[in-house]
Structure 1
Amino acid sequence: MHWTTPWLGWLLAWIIAAGGGASWLAQQRLQALNEGFQTNARIAHRLLSQQLVQHDAILATLALLQPQLSPNAGANATASDLARLYPQILGIAQRRADQPWPAHWPSTLDALEQQSRRSGHAHMDASRLAAGTLFVVQAGQPASYALALDLRAAVPTEEWPYPPSHSPVRIWLTQGDTQLLLQPGAPEADAPGWAWTQTKTLASPSQVLDLHERYKLHPRLLPWGPMLAWALVCALGLAGLRAAWQQRTARLRAEQLLQHGHVARLNTLGELAAGLAHELNQPLTAILSSSQAARRLLDDREPDVDAARQAMGQAAEQAKRASAVVGRLRRLVERPDTVAAAQAVALQALVNDALHLLEPELRQRQVQVLQTVPAPLPPLHSDPIALQQILHNLLLNALQAMEALPPAERRLEITQTRTGDWRSRRRAPATGCSCACRTTAPASPPRCATGCSPPLPPRAARAWVWG
């Protein structure tokens, strides 16, 4: 046990509290961002799907009405006002049986027209998807029609859920291995790492494109301000709690030390008992002699009342003297609340209490404590207060004996052992416990409450407790 160990517990408590609260705040922030991303992804998919479905409706209407169009596909879009309503329409082409598709349009439109005639719905050519252009063909009779589309312009800017200028979400369309970037997102949007992704096929039977959305997560998205504020609150709260705990511990330690001081006064009373007995023996002997003399004087044929009265007065004076001696003793040391009867006590608990009371001394002297308990010991039948006082004095003497040693070499070893049969000695008048210590601080003889064994090799201080 080292005097810096309690700091580790408080530091661990702060780490757990601050880390738990910061994790909860980060989780709440990420959950809110994820819910917003999922909602916006669904909105973007719905808007683009609506735009592409409108292309199918336009082609179906043209194939049904069979309007006469010019060979200039761009002029056809402008003349029909479709380019004004749908800015993504670059051109409208018409092909009759005796006419080809516009020369600059893909050569695959003939094959797509045949597929559309068989399936009944439009088909697309995505060969120029990387450039943002898509061609959609709808077969009709007697003429077939095709649209040239700019997919970037198909994004409805006013209803789009992402701000194109500063949105962190990257959005693109794919068809096979070809892709079209609609929104670049943040600079690190396509970087590897933790990210939320959403992939869904647009709801158009002719324009089968996959919409991809990716939200790259970055540490700056976390709520660092609230997290740091929470860590500071935890630190202040634990600091206040630690201060209160230290104050309470100091108060309890002071109370126990006060109690031990009173026990020390009781021990002093035991040491003074012999002298007090001698002091009381003289007045008691004088009382007995004066009483016997008074009785003999009164038993004479002619009693000497004056002499008997004088003898009784001397006896009363000696009685008052004895009473005064006892009264002074009682006023000095009498504390009925500390008088405890012998009871079963655990030696380890008493050792821990003694170390707890000496914690400031251990911290100040930088003494390392090592305890050894080879096997569980039976309880002792003793006065716990008196025995704790013995242990306190014993350990304090060991600390004082190590004052001359360097702090790095100050070690207090406590070993608890049992010798003999405890059951055979439990009725003995003694407490069944004796204490000893050994220390080898240079020029500092060992001092213990109950005596010391021969010295050990230098640089050690040990306390043995036999039970």
Structure 2
Amino acid sequence: MTRPAIAALLWLVLAGMGVAGLFLSTVNRVRETFDTDARILHRVLSQRMEQQEAVLNALDALEQQGVGVVALGTYLNTLLRPYPQVVAVEQCFAQSCQVLGTPAEQPPVLATPLSSQPALHWPEEDGPLYALSQNRVRIWVDARRLTGALDSGAAPLTYTLFQPKTATIVVAHTPEAGAVSRTLRVDKVLGTTLQPLPIRISRSVPWSAWPWVEATLWTLLTAGLGALVFRLLESRRNVQRALLDERARAAGVVHAASEAIVALDDGHRVTLANPAARAALAHPMPPGTDLRTVATFQATLSQAPFDAASFWNSDQPVALPEGLTLRRGHEGVQVEGSLAPLRGAGGELRGRVLILREVGPLQRRMLERLEDGERRVREHEEMLAHVSRLSTLGEMGAGLAHELNQPLTAIISYGQAAARLLEDPEPDLARVRHAVNASVTQAGRAAQIIVRLRQWVRRAPSQTRPTDLVQAVQNVLTLCHADLNRLGVQVVAAYADAPLVEADPVHLEQIILNLLRNALDAVQETPHPIIEVSIVPDAAGWTLSVRDNGPGIAPEVRPRLFTPFTTSKSGGLGLGLSLSQTLAQGMGGDLSGANAGSGGAVFTLSLPRQALEAASD
């Protein structure tokens, strides 16, 4: 079962218990009220019946004393005023009965023999009237007038009086009621010996008596509180899960670290140690281990004595002295590291963390990486030099082919013309034709050799791919670092944010190397040599500029700057710029050069952007 389902079930149980408690409390209250009202009604009716019997005894006593009819009637008007239920009084004789006073109702005829004992009489016709007699006095009681003001109220009672033996209904009092949810009922007997009338008392409980509003409010309140508690518990659970995840990640990072890491409490006892720490200290270091008994440091002879107490009890981050030795069994290893305090949210000291590194393996790794880096730099430089030599050889072959192709073509043309001229009359045709044909054959062979040489030195097309232009510049600067330092050249670099271009990485570095070496040659005689390297975006891609503060490009060289065999250097072949322009054009870019306005020369290499980057633009 999911947590929301459990929360909903708990809410239903809580809401149900509350609603049940409200309804049960209402039931108890209604029952207690009904029982109280029923007891009051029963007591009142019993008292009034006792009053009726008292009236009967008083009238019987007066009649026994010989009070006359007129005086007895006058006395009745005063005596019966508090007892409206006594509606008539008769004085009976052997043959008839005489009504005394002024009756509230005319009594029915009752043929009942006289008796000295009190008796209860019911007329033949059923109704609310019944008689009480003693000797010659008879009083008539109207059961409908027994309750009086008790018939009204917010929740009036329903009651039914029965004759004692026949269970005939004497009077049934039923007030008006609306929709009824349930009925409370109790059966009693009126508490007199003379008038033991059974009575059934009931009360109808309307639907409005139940706590519907309170139950609704309780349900809504518990729902709101339940939702709030659920969200608080979920938030707490999420926070706890995040805290546990964060602790697990932190523990994972600590365990994955190659350095020895040991977390301590404020008593220097181990709370966490990663595998590197156990290996470095050659101890399992279970939680609770006092690290001061495990890690023993020893200063070398060239150091001041190591103050272990000051180190372990420091409240500030403290580093191990350089060259400190860690005693590990019977051997000592040189280590470095630090001890830092761990503080709580209020700044109180909660513990410390010790970090150790063995210096020997670290130095070996650094030396290995340094040697590996130098080896890669040498291999890279050798590869660029090799490619540069091959490219130069290709340019030389192409230049030689271009220079030799014209005279060879002329020899062929002249030979063919001579062959035609020798067709004049009387020439030594055999020898001339043989010589001319031999010249043509040799010239064709030379042309074929040159064609094969061009095919042999022709470069393969550039293999372009996304290339980091900034990285290529930095690689070349690394290669020329020694020459730049030797000549005291200041390099000013301004790069855009990591531009990617479509280029052949080897050809690109060859172009940059050629431009940088030309700039180095140009600033050798300059008092404060400066080379500026910048990369900026343009409409088609990226532009790399190499600018120097040398003498600039000579006017006679400028028109033929990128023509093969054009150079202003003594001993130069004049193929570097031509080769670089050819390589740039092979990658879809271009190379140009000019004199800067403030002096010196500036060469600009334009390259297209990376294909995906250009598509996104």
TM-score bracket relative to the smaller structure? 0.3 to 0.5
Larger strand proportion, structure 1 or 2?
A: 2
Higher relative contact order (CA closer than 8 Å, sequence separation 6+): 1
TM-score, length basis structure 2: 0.37
